[in-house]
Amino acid sequence: MTYITHGSRKTITLCVENAQDVRIDGVTRPLAVPFSTMIHGGMHPKKTFIIRGRVPCRRRMAVNFVASGSGNTALHLNPRVKAGEVVRNSRIGGDWGKEERQLSTNPFREGQFFDVCKSAAEVSSGFKVFVNGEHLFDFAHRMSFYEINMLEIRGDVQIFYVQF
């Protein structure tokens, strides 16, 4: 399991594969955005990602699950706070696919904290995404699940915690 954490009150806990926990007191700032990290060990069924952050204003942000070798984006999660939408898509071979926008709610609000939990229950079933503990949507895989090896976070967002 990998943890990348900043700003959990006055303590940071960073757990790195094959290493002991490291605690650094007094750090309260969020991770730098744009943020990207390799997904050590790549994707596999039941791998879960947790991202804790805050939307400081009514602009856009994006969370991307990427195949770094090809540049393809398996899942582009794009909450648009001002528009009240959560756009989902993929980008394969340089071309965007069909956007998915329909949701009963948009849990991303200006100034509010959020917890995004993304899992891939099975290779054939796609991604399951939860926000603040509530199931928000499923997104069918549009490319090989096993190619995904990078997480990117961009836009107007503060990220305090990433775990996978």
31-47+56-153, CATH topology level: Jelly Rolls (2.60.120)
Q: Using an 8 Å Cβ cutoff, are 70 and 119 in contact?
A: no
How much is the pLDDT for 21?
32
* Lowest mean pLDDT across 42-56, 72-86, 114-128: 114-128
pLDDT digits (tens, 9 = 90+) for 84-134: 899 999 999 999 999 999 998 899 999 999 999 998 766 667 899 999 999
Residues near 15 by beta carbon (within 8 Å), at least 6 away in sequence: 1, 2, 3, 21, 22
What is the model's pTM? Answer: 0.80
Looking at residue 127, its amino acid is F
Residue 130 φ/ψ, nearest 5 degrees: -120, 145
pLDDT digits (tens, 9 = 90+) for 10-43: 333 343 333 333 333 333 578 999 999 999 888 8
Domain segments of the chain as ranges: 31-47+56-153
How much is the pLDDT for 36?
95
**Measuring CA to CA, which residue among 137, 157, 150 is closest to residue 61?**
157
Q: Say how far apart CA 73 and CA 89 lie, in whole Å.
A: 8
Q: Say how far apart CA 1 and CA 18 lie, in whole Å.
A: 10
Centre a 10 Å sphere on the Cβ of residue 121 and count the other Cβ atoms it contains.
13
In whole angstroms, what separates CA 152 from the centre of its chain? 7
In whole angstroms, what separates CA 96 from the centre of its chain? 19
Instruction: Please indicate whether residue 106 or residue 73 has the higher confidence score (pLDDT).
Output: 73
Q: Using an 8 Å Cβ cutoff, are 162 and 7 in contact?
A: no
